[in-house]
């Protein structure tokens, strides 16, 4: 009984990864579009002092801008939202696939190969360069430099 309950919980957890509920109120919980698309009427159209239009024109322009932006966005998202979601889902799936099945294995293979090369390189350096630099160090170790100030 306990084992069946545990298996049921595991199936629910696996199902929840792909069918989790989304927040319909806060649609940008990570604030990725915080500064990008907040464009209001005042950000686009402004009349400096001394060049005002009629109050009715200003109010109607504000209403027209706000309503048309709202409904154009809704219409575009209704028409293109799902196809673009499929496109972006495919693109990110492709990127994930390439990363998992091509990039990481290539990097791991490179690291394995370079480890062998680095051992050979290290052996050559220690064999040929270390004695040379030790000899140069012994030659230069007896050099004394004295600085005198002549008046």
Q: Tell whether 150 is covered by a domain.
A: no
Backbone angles phi, psi at 149, to 5 degrees: -105, 115
Q: Tell whether 1 is covered by a domain.
A: yes
Q: Tell whether 127 is covered by a domain.
A: yes
Query: pLDDT tens across 26-46, in order?
Result: 888 888 877 777 788 888 888
DSSP alpha helix (H) spans, 20-54: 41-44
CA dihedral 21, 24, 30, 36 (to 10 degrees): 140
Q: Tell whether 149 is covered by a domain.
A: no
Report how far apart, in Å, the C-alpha atoms of 12 and of each of 23, 33, 65, 94, 102 are. 20, 32, 46, 27, 32
Query: How many domains does the chain divide into?
Result: 1
The answer to whether residue 16 scores a pLDDT higher than 60 is: no
pLDDT at residue 97, rounded to an integer:
97
Q: List the domain range (segments joined by +) for residue 8.
A: 1-142
Query: pLDDT tens across 58-117, in order?
Result: 999 999 999 999 999 999 999 999 999 999 999 999 999 999 999 999 999 999 999 989
Q: Tell whether 32 is covered by a domain.
A: yes
pLDDT at residue 39, rounded to an integer:
83
Q: Tell whether 138 is covered by a domain.
A: yes
CA distance 62 to 44: 11
pLDDT band at 126 (very low <50, low <70, confident <90, very high): very high
CA distance 14 to 22: 17
The answer to whether residue 6 scores a pLDDT higher than 80 is: no
Mean pLDDT of the 109-129 span: 93
């Amino acid at each position: 009984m306990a084992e069946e309950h545990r298996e049921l919980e595991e199936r629910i957890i696996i199902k929840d990864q792909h069918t989790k509920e989304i927040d319909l109120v806060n649609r940008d919980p990570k604030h990725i579009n915080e500064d990008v698309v907040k464009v209001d009427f005042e950000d686009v159209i402004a009349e400096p002092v001394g060049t005002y239009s009629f109050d009715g024109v200003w109010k109607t322009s504000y209403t027209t801008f706000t309503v048309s932006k709202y409904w154009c966005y809704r219409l575009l998202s209704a028409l293109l939202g799902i196809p673009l979601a499929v496109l972006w889902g495919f693109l990110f799936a492709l990127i994930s696939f390439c990363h998992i099945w091509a990039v990481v294995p290539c990097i791991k293979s490179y690291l394995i190969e370079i480890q062998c090369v680095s051992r050979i390189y290290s052996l050559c350096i220690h064999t040929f360069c270390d004695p040379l630099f030790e000899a140069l160090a012994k030659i230069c170790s007896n050099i004394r430099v004295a600085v005198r100030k002549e008046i």
